[in-house]
Structure 1
Amino acid sequence: MREVGKELRHLGFAAVFMLAASGASAQLQEFSTGQRNLACGSPAAIGDGWPTATPESVGLESPRLCGIAARLVATNANVHAVVIVRHGTLVFEQYFPGYDEPWGLGSGPHDFDATTKQDMRSVSKSVISLLVGIAIDRELIKSADEPVVKFFPDYATLKSPGWDNITLRHLLTMSSGIQWDENRAWNDPQNDEPRLSSEADPFRYILSKPIAAPPDAAWTYNGGGTDLLGNIIERVSGKSLDGFAREALFAPLGISDWEWMKYRNERIASAVGLRLRPRDAAKIGQLVLNRGAWNGRQIVSPKWIEQSVTPRFQAIGYFGGLFYYGQQWWMGRTLSGDKDVKWIAAMGLGGQRIFIVPDLDLVVMTTSGLYGRARQGNAALDILTNLIVPSVRDK
């Protein structure tokens, strides 16, 4: 999960956070002096298909949301973007300068606004799940219970005992039993994840791994399985992954400014390489909230969405908490005042988060630059719990 930029940190974290904090403080000053007539967090008009309105029009309290910036500055959160959608309407967005490690652009201080693409990192995995669902809806894949080896006849000689029992669903739920460990330092030779970018043929590497446990016996975080899913999409569609994603998902969502990056071995980074504007990432959340529909068009079936966000395993110790895992989607809950709030999420290294709160008809998207930090993502959950949910004022 430390997928890129490990040669980074030309600036120390302390210096970086001071820069981020001073930049955000400058933004607060700008709001208080030069933009008194503009409500904080007012969405910009950039013609991306989002309807926009005020927080009050969808039952949210603006004054409480206006406290987000100060809270982020006070906690040195290094959050780059906060986007809030309610009842299908974009009602709040704010952007902050800060340290980042954007793929191929160099680590260091960066500025952000509504038109800036940001690394989604492992949020990419949740998008791969949607693409698998679309491929099944189109009958390019019979079902998620198809055996993985069926799609890789050219690697049949690699097959070790146990591989015949692994299905696409096992890859989706990270319960395949493949011997895999990416919860190590990036430069640790036992870390499997760097091999995805360094191996000339990463699929051969993954498919040659031994089976350490029966499928469904245990949950183990495994980006290699997601890369296999991305390649299966290419094999069944006859298109590149980004080509299929463009036609099947992003174009219907009105997402035109995006990238899916490649590893240095020129293989597309299915599990970690997606770059989106935060407003467009929020569309992914709204799609799930709408059970696979966007603007009245069914993009992925409700059945697939339901399967994807059904908890299947406990996922302890990843992204800083105790969560449940479905099909490349996370589930959890938070106590906000006297409200027990359940949410669905896509999560990426550094603090990239798409929170979906069905009971409140709410989507919150944040990006951040806390790579390699234990508290990554804490700020997103903090503002969701202590500012955004309490701002709901429905009768």
Structure 2
Amino acid sequence: MKPRMLLKCITPAVVAISLASAHAAQAAPLNETGLTQASPEDAGVDSRELVRLSQWIREQKLEVYSLLVVKDGKLIFERYGAGVSRDSNFELYSVTKSVTSMVAGILIGQGKIGLDDSVATKLAAWRPDLRADFADKRKVELKHVLSMSSGLHYDFKPKDDPIYYAAPDRLKLAAETNPKAAPGSEFEYTDINPILAAAMLSAAAHEPVEQYAQANLFAPLGMKHAMWTRADRSGLVSAGWGLRLRAVDMAKIGMLVLDHGRWQGRQIVPEPWIAQMTSPGVAPYFGYYWWINNVVQNEPEFDAMGFKGQFITVLPERNTVIVMTSVMSVDGGLRDAKNLQIFRQMVNNYVIPALDNADHARPSKERSAALRRELDISARTRGIPGTQVDPADRPRL
């Protein structure tokens, strides 16, 4: 049987790593991460702007756990706050969705599921006890779930909604939702969709989605300490939250996007899928669980974004990936939360100027020393959380 086509038409922690110490012209591979490390100047980047960014974070007392910049495949800036190290992993919240999209692309490429597959057909067979509840969802397909256009309504509680915390069977809650709009007609960001996605992908893989992801995505990328937590009592994780990754492994997700799904020459995610998931769908700013131009407006740019300030930002024209984990304010709504506003400032006011200042990116002992001092200070500095810190928010080893 031939694999199914993607679409009919493809349109006390370790002190912060001192990048300045890698000032030598040759960049040494980091065996424990699979990344290559270099100084900013060796990649044509002005480290002075990155030092200013780190200082600004401290002056603003922001609770930034990690901030990384990868340029031309090289890790050129790696900043951690107090109590955090390279081996710490972080609750990614909705960045989980973007990683899930890559898992979906792998399964689609293997012919195990298709974008046109019906939620009702797939899940009624997987969970026969919910067949009646899925009967009114025959027109909802995987592509609607991944593009946040399923049209399903769920009455979220203002605090501690059971879908996140106490529900013994999240899929049952999702199955009991009612259609309120035609599938594919409206964009509505709702966490019902990633529950359906986790179930559909698990059914397609014939194993829990987190186990499939470990074997087909995390292990090939050499990820360490990857955990998909917060499963309900039925054993189902959500595709919308609960994934914990190290910042360096988040960077690898961004690098996969940059290199069209390849990692060190090996195709991990099908190349056509990378293009599809980062192309506008029902909403002009959203593809398949990836945001489009939500941080940088005037050039191609893709984002994975999570609650409280978790980000993977990909700048294709600059061959750059930016990663941040943090606990910052959630005030302001989905596409303009305070944490997103702050991250936009970081990227547009500091990182992009550092990338643009190649003519002044001259290696020197003074710049190396300044960067080393600043990273050492940041590794001893705690910020003030901008919102409530839940146990899941704490970095773990």
Q: What is the TM-score normalised by the length of structure 1? A: 0.78
Partner of 2:392 in structure 1?
none
For residue 116 of structure 2, the aligned residue among 122, 135, 145 is 145
For residue 269 of structure 1, the aligned residue among 219, 238, 242 is 238
- The one-letter code matched in structure 1 to 2:139 is N
TM alignment of 1:1-395, pairs within 5 A: 38=21, 45=30, 47-97=32-82, 111-141=83-113, 143-153=114-124, 154=128, 155-161=130-136, 163-180=137-154, 182=156, 185-187=158-160, 194-263=162-231, 265=233, 266-314=235-283, 324-332=285-293, 340-370=298-328, 372-374=330-332, 375-392=338-355, 393-394=357-358
Gaps of 5+ in 1: 1-22, 98-110, 188-192, 315-322
Report SS of the residue matched to 1:364.
strand
**For 2:202 and 2:236, how far apart are their aligned partners in 1?**
12
**TM-superposed deviation, 1:240:** 1.8
Partner of 1:108 in structure 2?
none
1:166-213 per-position Cα deviation (integer Å, ceiling 9, x unaligned)? 11000000001001355x6324xxxxx532542222112111211001
Per the alignment, do residues 334 and 199 of structure 1 end up closer, same or farther by CA in structure 2, a change over 3 Å counting? closer
Q: Is the 8 A contact 2:46 2:358 kept in 1?
A: no
Report SS of the residue matched to 1:226.
helix
**For 1:89 and 1:196, how far apart are their aligned partners in 2?**
37
Q: Is the 8 A contact 1:261 1:268 kept in 2?
A: yes
**TM-superposed deviation, 1:389:** 0.6
Q: Is the 8 A contact 2:285 2:294 kept in 1?
A: no
Identity of aligned residues (%): 27
Per the alignment, do residues 72 and 37 of structure 1 end up closer, same or farther by CA in structure 2, a change over 3 Å counting? closer
Per the alignment, do residues 365 and 280 of structure 1 end up closer, same or farther by CA in structure 2, a change over 3 Å counting? same
**TM-superposed deviation, 1:394:** 4.5
Report SS of the residue matched to 1:325.
coil
**For 2:231 and 2:56, how far apart are their aligned partners in 1?**
36
Q: Is the 8 A contact 1:117 1:277 kept in 2?
A: yes
Q: Is the 8 A contact 1:177 1:213 kept in 2?
A: yes
**For 1:78 and 1:309, how far apart are their aligned partners in 2?**
29
Q: What is the TM-score normalised by the length of structure 2? A: 0.77
Per the alignment, do residues 72 and 136 of structure 1 end up closer, same or farther by CA in structure 2, a change over 3 Å counting? same
Q: Is the 8 A contact 2:120 2:135 kept in 1?
A: no
Q: Is the 8 A contact 1:64 1:391 kept in 2?
A: yes
Q: Which has the higher contact order (CA 8 A, sep 6+)?
A: 2
**For 1:312 and 1:238, how far apart are their aligned partners in 2?**
28
Structure 1 range deviating more: 53-62 or 370-379: 370-379
Per the alignment, do residues 310 and 335 of structure 1 end up closer, same or farther by CA in structure 2, a change over 3 Å counting? closer
1:322-343 per-position Cα deviation (integer Å, ceiling 9, x unaligned)? x81110000115569xxx2331
Partner of 1:9 in structure 2?
none
Per the alignment, do residues 44 and 253 of structure 1 end up closer, same or farther by CA in structure 2, a change over 3 Å counting? closer
**For 1:247 and 1:93, how far apart are their aligned partners in 2?**
27
Q: Is the 8 A contact 1:77 1:379 kept in 2?
A: no
Report SS of the residue matched to 1:227.
helix
**TM-superposed deviation, 1:378:** 2.7
**For 1:275 and 1:213, how far apart are their aligned partners in 2?**
33
Report SS of the residue matched to 1:114.
coil
Q: Which runs of 4+ in 1 moved over 6 A?
A: none
Per the alignment, do residues 44 and 257 of structure 1 end up closer, same or farther by CA in structure 2, a change over 3 Å counting? farther
**For 2:224 and 2:84, how far apart are their aligned partners in 1?**
18
Structure 1 range deviating more: 302-311 or 151-160: 151-160
